[in-house]
Chain A
Amino acid sequence: MAKPTILINLNRCTGCWTCSMACKVAYKLPEDKWWQYVRTIGSRAGIDEPAGEWPNVRMSWMPVYTSDCILCGKRTKEGLEPFCTYNCPTKAMTYGDLDDPKSDVSMSMKKLREKSYRIFQLPVWEGTRPEIYYSEK
C-alpha cells in the first residue's frame, strides 16, 4: 500500500476507548503502555471532563496515535484492517490507501469534504503518527 491512512470522523467518535483497548489487548501491551489513546477535548482535567460552566458545557474526543503505533503492519499486509478501525463500534474510522482514489479512505474523505467537513491532521510537533487524518463538522 502506497500511503496507508486512517481517517477518523470525530462526529462519530463517542470516546469509548474500544480502539485503544483493541490495540492494547491484541499486542499484549503492559498496563501503563498505550500505543493509541483517546484524548478528551474538554477542560483538560481528565477523561470525560467537559469544558465550560454548567449548563453551558461541551466535550468531544479524539483518538491519538503515538509514535509507537505500528499501523498493524503485519495484519494490513494480509489485507486486514488495523485492530482499532476494525473494532470501532460506531464506524468512526476508515482505513485504506490515500494514493488510491477508489480506496475506502479516499472515498470517505471525498464524501466528507463534499459535506463540508473539515479535514485536518495533528501538528507535527505533537510527534504522533503522520498517517492519521481527522474530519469534523
Chain B
Amino acid sequence: MNKEEKFVYTACMGTGCHERCFLKTIVEDGKIVRTERAELGSPEGARYGICQKGIEYAKFPYLPTRLLHPLKRVGKRGEGKFQEISWDQAMQEIGAKLRDIRDKYGPEAVIVNTFECGYPAQWSALHLDLALRFVNTFGATCSEMETIDSGYFFATQVDLGSSWHHGNYDPRALADSKHIIIWGSNPMGATRAVATTRNMLDAQERGAKIVDIGLVYDSTAAKADQFVPIRGGTDVALALAMNRLLIEEDLYDRDYVTNYTVAPFLVREDTGQFLRESNIKAGGDPGKYIFWNKLPAEARTIAAHTHDFRDSVPDLMASLSINGIPCKTAFLKLRKHLAKWTPEYQEALTGVPAETAQQLIHEYVTNKPSVIWLNLGLRYYNAREAHRAIQLLSALSGNLGLKGGKLALIALGGGWPAHTDKVGIRCPDGIENVKGARPAVTDLIESLKAPDEPKYRALLNMVGNPVQAAPGRKMWTDAIFPKLDLIVNYEVRVTDTALFCDYVLPDTTSFERTDLLLQCNWVVLQEKAIEPMGEVKPPADFWRSLAKQVGLEHYFDKTTEEWLEICLQSQDPAIAGVNPPLTLERLKKEKMVRLNVPTELYDPFVSLGFLTPSGRFEFYSEDMVKANEAMANWVPPLIHTPKRKEYPLQLLVSRHRVFMQTQFTDFPDLRAIAGNEPWMQINPADSVVRGINDGDLVEVLNDRGQLKVKVRLSQAIPPGVVQMWFGYRASEYLEGSPTLLQVPTGTAETLDDAGREWLDVVKKRWAPLPGEAPSLDRWPYTINGQWKIAGNWDVIWDNYCEVRKVSGGK
C-alpha cells in the first residue's frame, strides 16, 4: 500500500479454515477499497498471508445478499417472507416470548447455539464470550448443535490427554521436516492455502518428500511427490498395518516408546487395568504403575508423569503373573492386537497395495524427522480409530519426540496457546455459580426430535448455519424447528437457516466492529474499518438490548471497548506477563503486541508432555476397556453396509477451495472459479455403465433423500465415488440438496458405546477435585466446552447413494 493509504487490521471471515489469517483493510472515504496480506512484528513477521477469500472479503459488506435491517417472518417458516421491523420492536417481541417461555418452562427451555468454529476470530471474539455470559446468567441451555470433530477430540483426549494444547501447531516447524505425510486432508492450495502451504513448499524445495494419502485427486495431490489413493473410510486399516510393520520389523523407537508411552506398563489380564503398586503390595501407592525390569528380573514401580527409569531396563515383552495376577505389558498387548494387520490384510480393505504400505512406513522412519499432517479430513464413523492409529505411528516411530517430526492434528492458532479472560467475561458470578445446562449434543438433539411434549421451546442461533451446512437438513426443518415457539438468528446475511427463523437480526461483519485477534503469538487490535452499515449492531449492543428484556441489563451494561478491557485482564501468563501491561490504550497505539511467550516455536509434545492420567501417550487406555476400546481398532465406516447393493456409490460432499463451508458462496468472483452452480462429479467408469454423459441432469438418491443436479465427468474422482461441492443454498439445486442425503450429525445414529463411555471419562478426568478451585486449564472441558464432547461421530463423508440419468443436458 502507498503512504497516503489508511488501513486497519481485520480478521478474515474464513477463519474456520484454522489458518487464522488477518488482513490489512485499506479504507478510503469511509469505504473499503481492498484488503491485503498483513504482517506481524518480529520474529513471526510475514508468517501470514492471504488467499482468494481474504482478498474477496473486501466486497462482502456491499454484496446485495448482505443483511442490513432486522427482519420478522411473515410467511411460513422456510418460505422466506419477511418484513423489516425496528430493533426496538424486534427486541420487545422476542423479549416477551423469552419471558413467557422462561416463566412457563424454565430458562433451560431456551437454547443458545454457540457453534463458533467458522466465526471470525473465534475464541477471542466477543460474540462467543457474550453469548456464554448470557447462558450463564439467564440459565439457558448451551450447545454446539452442529457438533463436529469428535473423532479428533476423542483420540486426543483419550490417548494424548488434551485437545486444546495438542491441537496447536506452528507451520514454521515444517522447516525441520524431511518427510511430510498429508493424511486425508487437502491443505495445499485449498484448506490451508497460506502459511501452511508456503512452509510445505519450502520443505519440499529443501528436499522433503510430500506424500498425500487421500480419497480424491485435489490440489494437495497435485503438489505432492506421491499420491496414495485410498478407499473412503478405510484409513484406520492402513495405519494399523503400518503400526504392525513398525513393531514386527523392529523399526520402532525403543527409547521413546519406553519413556513416553505406556508400553512398559503391565496390564492386568483379569480387569484390563494397569497394574498398580497397591495391587501387589499392602499399603502400596495406587498412583504408581508397575513394569518388569530385565536384570534383575523383578517388578518395579514408576510414578505417573515421570519418564526416567534410571537404572532399570523395562522389559517391553513381559508376560507373567505377579501375586497371582496374570499380566502382560501394554506393548505386548498392542503387538497381539495388531497381529492380523498384515500389509495384505489392509490391502483388501483400503485398496493400497501391500508394497505401498511397506514403502510408506519405511520412508516414514528412515527420513526422520517426519511429520503427519491430519487436519480433520477423516470424517467417517471410525474417525476416532483412524486418529488414534495415526497418532500411534508418530509415537512408535519416535517422530513425536523430534523437532520437525510431530503430528499436526488440527494445527490451530499457529502459536503458543493463549486466552483472554474467559472467567471474568463469561462467568460474571464465578465459575461455581454459572447457571444453565450443557447437555451432550446427542441428548439435546434426540430430545428435540422426540415427538412428546418438547422440553425446549426457543433457539437463539447466535453463530452457525445448520440448515444449510449440517448434514441432515430435514432433521432441522421438519423435526426440530416445528417444536420451537421462537427461533432467532443473528447473522450477516439471510442464510437457509435464517429462512426458518422468526426474527433475523443484522450482525456486524468483522470490518464493522472492534475486537481482539489472537494471532500466532500476538494480540492484534481489530479496529472498525467502516461504520456499521444500515442497522447492523455489534454483539455488545445486541446483548445489551436483549438482556434488558429479561431483567439482566446489569450484566450487559458495557460497551465493546469496556468488554475488551476485561478480556485483557486475563490471568494467562501469556497476556498477564506482557510488559508494559497489555491495555486497550497500548493496543490502540501499537495495533499489535507480542504475547509473553518464548520465541521458540510452540511444541506441545516437548513443552507439555501428555496430560493423560499416566502422563504418557496412552495407546492403551484403561478407561476405555469397558467400552472395548482400549486400543485403536478397526470399526467399519457407515458406507460399509449391505445397502451398498442398492446404493453403490460413496457420496462425498466436500468444500471447494474458494468457499469456506457456506461462507463465500454468494461471491460472484469466487463462484466463477467454482463453476457458478452446483454440479456433481463422477468418474467416466461409473457414468458409462449408467448411460450418463457430461452435462446430463441426474437424480442422486439414497434412503434418506434425493436431489437433482447436473453432472460432469472427471478423472479427479475415483470410480465408486461421486463428489459435490458443499455449501450452496438449497435454492440453487433443481431439486433437493446434498445434506438431505447425509446422516445427520449429533444423532443417536452416530453414537456408540465408546462415545458414551468417552463422555463419562472426560467428565471424570477434567472435573475439579473436591475442594480444588476450578482451573483455567480444566475450564474448557467443564463449564464451557462439555457440549463439544458429544460422543457421536463425524460422518460427513460417510454416505452412500445411487445416480440415475433424468435427461440429456448440454
- Other-chain residue from B55, B219, B229, B715 in contact with A21 (beta carbon distance below 8 A): B55
Q: What residue in chain A is nearest B222 (Cβ atoms)? A: A59
- Other-chain residue from A48, A86, A90 in contact with B198 (beta carbon distance below 8 A): A90
Instruction: Determine whether the beta carbon of B56 is less than 8 Å from that of A58.
Output: no
**Given A22-B55, A25-B58, A89-B49, are A58 and B198 also a contact pair (CB < 8 Å)?**
no
Instruction: Determine the distance from Cα of A15 to Cα of B217 in the docked complex, in whole angstroms.
Output: 14
Instruction: Determine the distance from Cα of A22 to Cα of B658 in the docked complex, in whole angstroms.
Output: 14
Chain B contact residues: helix, strand, loop or mixed: mixed
By the criterion of a CB under 8 Å from any partner CB, how many residues of chain B are at the interface?
Answer: 50
- 4 new A-B contacts at CB < 8 Å, known A14-B222, A21-B669: A17-B52, A45-B712, A86-B36, A89-B37
**A1 CB within 8 Å of chain B:** no
Instruction: Determine the distance from Cα of A26 to Cα of B166 in the docked complex, in whole angstroms.
Output: 39
**Given A53-B715, A89-B51, are A31 and B669 also a contact pair (CB < 8 Å)?**
yes
**B673 CB within 8 Å of chain A:** yes
**Given A26-B34, A31-B668, A48-B716, are A16 and B201 also a contact pair (CB < 8 Å)?**
no
User: Which residues of B lie under 8 Å from residue A49 when comparing CB positions?
Assistant: 714-716
User: Which residues of A lie under 8 Å from residue B657 when comparing CB positions?
Assistant: 16
Contact with A along B55-76 (1 / 0, CB 8 A): 1101100000000000000000
Mark out the residues of chain A between 19 and 59 whose CB falls within 8 Å of any chain B CB in the assembled complex. 20-22, 24-26, 31, 43, 45-55, 57-59
User: Which residues of B lie under 8 Å from residue A15 when comparing CB positions?
Assistant: 189, 219, 222
Count of A-B residue pairs with CB < 8 Å: 121
- Other-chain residue from A18, A52, A90 in contact with B55 (beta carbon distance below 8 A): A18
Instruction: Determine whether the beta carbon of A50 is less than 8 Å from that of B217.
Output: yes
- Other-chain residue from A17, A31, A50, A88 in contact with B222 (beta carbon distance below 8 A): A50
**B295 CB within 8 Å of chain A:** no
**Given A16-B193, A25-B55, A89-B193, are A50 and B715 also a contact pair (CB < 8 Å)?**
yes
Instruction: Determine the distance from Cα of A10 to Cα of B218 in the docked complex, in whole angstroms.
Output: 17
**B781 CB within 8 Å of chain A:** no
Contact with B along A46-87 (1 / 0, CB 8 A): 111111111101111000000000000001001010000011
Instruction: Determine whether the beta carbon of B222 is less than 8 Å from that of A87.
Output: no
Instruction: Determine whether the beta carbon of B52 is less than 8 Å from that of A21.
Output: yes
Instruction: Determine whether the beta carbon of A16 is less than 8 Å from that of B52.
Output: yes
Mark out the residues of chain B between 673 and 721 whose CB falls within 8 Å of any chain A CB in the assembled complex. 673, 675, 683, 685, 712-719
Instruction: Determine whether the beta carbon of B227 is less than 8 Å from that of A55.
Output: yes
User: Which residues of A lie under 8 Å from residue B33 when comparing CB positions?
Assistant: 26
- Other-chain residue from B52, B205, B675 in contact with A47 (beta carbon distance below 8 A): B675
Instruction: Determine whether the beta carbon of A46 is less than 8 Å from that of B669.
Output: no
User: Which residues of B lie under 8 Å from residue A50 when comparing CB positions?
Assistant: 217, 222, 715-716
Instruction: Determine the distance from Cα of A43 to Cα of B719 in the docked complex, in whole angstroms.
Output: 17
**Given A14-B223, A16-B51, A57-B716, are A25 and B56 also a contact pair (CB < 8 Å)?**
yes
B20 to chain A, nearest CB (A): 13
**Given A60-B222, A80-B1, A80-B2, are A18 and B715 also a contact pair (CB < 8 Å)?**
no
**B769 CB within 8 Å of chain A:** no
User: Which residues of B lie under 8 Å from residue A46 when comparing CB positions?
Assistant: 675, 712
Instruction: Determine whether the beta carbon of B717 is less than 8 Å from that of A54.
Output: yes
Instruction: Determine whether the beta carbon of B669 is less than 8 Å from that of A24.
Output: yes
A37 to chain B, nearest CB (A): 10
**B773 CB within 8 Å of chain A:** no
Instruction: Determine the distance from Cα of A51 to Cα of B52 in the docked complex, in whole angstroms.
Output: 25
**B499 CB within 8 Å of chain A:** no
Instruction: Determine the distance from Cα of A37 to Cα of B669 in the docked complex, in whole angstroms.
Output: 12
B15 to chain A, nearest CB (A): 16
Contact with A along B518-552 (1 / 0, CB 8 A): 00000000000000000000000000000000000
Instruction: Determine the distance from Cα of A15 to Cα of B198 in the docked complex, in whole angstroms.
Output: 13
**Given A54-B717, A80-B1, are A18 and B51 also a contact pair (CB < 8 Å)?**
yes
Instruction: Determine whether the beta carbon of B217 is less than 8 Å from that of A87.
Output: no
**Given A15-B219, A22-B55, A47-B675, are A54 and B719 also a contact pair (CB < 8 Å)?**
yes
Instruction: Determine the distance from Cα of A87 to Cα of B683 in the docked complex, in whole angstroms.
Output: 35
Q: What residue in chain B is nearest A38 (Cβ atoms)? A: B673
Contact with A along B186-205 (1 / 0, CB 8 A): 00111001100110010001
Instruction: Determine whether the beta carbon of B34 is less than 8 Å from that of A25.
Output: yes
**What are 18 A-B pairs at a CB distance below 8 A?**
A12-B201, A15-B189, A16-B189, A22-B36, A25-B56, A25-B59, A26-B34, A49-B714, A50-B715, A54-B217, A54-B716, A54-B717, A57-B715, A57-B716, A58-B222, A87-B50, A89-B51, A90-B198
**A91 CB within 8 Å of chain B:** yes
**B672 CB within 8 Å of chain A:** yes
Instruction: Determine the distance from Cα of A16 to Cα of B673 in the docked complex, in whole angstroms.
Output: 9
B684 to chain A, nearest CB (A): 8
User: Which residues of B lie under 8 Å from residue A26 when comparing CB positions?
Assistant: 33-34
Instruction: Determine the distance from Cα of A21 to Cα of B35 in the docked complex, in whole angstroms.
Output: 11
A12 to chain B, nearest CB (A): 5
Instruction: Determine the distance from Cα of A12 to Cα of B199 in the docked complex, in whole angstroms.
Output: 11
- Other-chain residue from B188, B685, B712, B715 in contact with A14 (beta carbon distance below 8 A): B188
Q: What residue in chain B is nearest A79 (Cβ atoms)? A: B2
Instruction: Determine the distance from Cα of A85 to Cα of B194 in the docked complex, in whole angstroms.
Output: 14
User: Which residues of B lie under 8 Å from residue A80 when comparing CB positions?
Assistant: 1-2
Sort A-B residue pairs by CB-CB distance and give the 6 closest, nearest first.
Answer: A14-B189, A89-B49, A89-B194, A21-B55, A21-B52, A59-B222
Mark out the residues of chain B between 47 and 101 whose CB falls within 8 Å of any chain A CB in the assembled complex. 49-52, 54-56, 58-59
Instruction: Determine whether the beta carbon of B222 is less than 8 Å from that of A89.
Output: no
Mark out the residues of chain B between 11 and 30 whose CB falls within 8 Å of any chain A CB in the assembled complex. none
- Other-chain residue from B50, B217, B219 in contact with A18 (beta carbon distance below 8 A): B50
User: Which residues of A lie under 8 Å from residue B669 when comparing CB positions?
Assistant: 21, 24-25, 31
Q: What residue in chain A is nearest B223 (Cβ atoms)? A: A14
A27 to chain B, nearest CB (A): 9
User: Which residues of B lie under 8 Å from residue A89 when comparing CB positions?
Assistant: 37, 49-51, 193-194, 197-198
User: Which residues of B lie under 8 Å from residue A22 when comparing CB positions?
Assistant: 34, 36, 55
Instruction: Determine the distance from Cα of A26 to Cα of B201 in the docked complex, in whole angstroms.
Output: 27
- Other-chain residue from A31, A54, A60 in contact with B715 (beta carbon distance below 8 A): A54
B650 to chain A, nearest CB (A): 14
- Other-chain residue from B197, B658, B670, B715 in contact with A90 (beta carbon distance below 8 A): B197
Mark out the residues of chain B between 653 and 678 whose CB falls within 8 Å of any chain A CB in the assembled complex. 657-658, 668-670, 672-673, 675
